[in-house]
Structure 1
Amino acid sequence: MKDLLLSTPAPEGHPSSPVTKKGNFHRGLLQTLPDLRGFARFLTRDTAAADDLVQDTIVRALAAQDQFQEGTALKAWLFTIQRNAFYEQNRRRSREQEIMQDIEFDMRPSTAAPSRQHARDAVQDLGELLWKLPDLLREALILVGAQELSYEDAARVCNVPAGTMRARVSRARAQLADLAAENSADPQPESEKNIV
């Protein structure tokens, strides 16, 4: 039965029918949108996340349009892109949560506040400190640190030599450490500043 379904061509113009001309690509993409939305809602179980996933799928499909093989089912090709994008986003989100938990558990407990709240504050402070870095240094640190790209891959993303990327990451870490040290130094209360 499965072989019969696979061998029976879909009617011309149907989203799962083979696309034979480049001009039909955009039309087929538009016809497949409802199916992409349905599949995305199945994967994400969230309407807003599903819409984001469909948008990501369309962007990726348009960027890879030249890789689409004429005569194959556009719908299957798009679903493959969508599924890969979904699992990539999940892996990234999972890795980000792991990093945040690692930061949270590595923080020293504070006697001033419950340790969990202190860790959350520290993570929030880290986020604020990251935004104080120059754009190029912050970008390098995010690509290599949070996104786990190699120096070479991050360098390709930024169109710079790998040595430049290594230097940017090193400078970003040093500046982040300096900012953290400045931030952790408790300023004296105003009432104590006036007492000499």
Structure 2
Amino acid sequence: MFPAPTTHPRTVRSAHRDGEITAWALAAGGGDREAAECFVRATYDDVRRFVAHLSADVPGADDLAQETYLRALTSLAKFAGRSCARTWLLSIARCVVIDRYRSAAARPRVADTLDWQTAAERAQPRHLPGFDETVAVFDALDAMDPSRREAFVLTQLLGLSYAEAASAAGCPVGTVRSRVARARRDLTSVWQPARSSRNHVS
């Protein structure tokens, strides 16, 4: 299995960075192991966040990311660089999550999905500035329509363009724009009452 990177430097969204990632993918497809390692390290954080949000399964995100890279690295020899390698990789991650859902649906349900608030409480101490807001956003994302959540995560959290998100999600650009707009409305409808309630109490 491929080890998760020990550090996750913030990825700068730029054409140069995407070109660099694509170049690593092409080199890795030709057998360059060092390029393969660079490709994984440069994209791992985005893949993990994407599958965590899309699946609403924070503890299982690393397993889903590992499966994504297993599929991707065995397919790199066929990657021709016609699109950004990161967009191609996220489309594989999406298929991994879909396959996991299908597999889970075929088995008897033994437990409810871990809720976002529990995950946030384990990841961040309480009583810190922004904690309640973070939990509120996670709760809202968890309750959101899956297609809207996917479009929102791809564009607003991972920084993909609408065209790149459409390619990753396998739908028209206009559909992504519509889903993002609706996701924003969903978040606003949840966020404003919560803020008003806290202001009223204080």
- Give the TM-score band, short-chain normalised: 0.3 to 0.5
The normalised TM-score by structure 2 is: 0.42
Bigger relative contact order (CA 8 A; separation at least 6): 2
Give the structure with higher Rg (CA). 1
The normalised TM-score by structure 1 is: 0.43
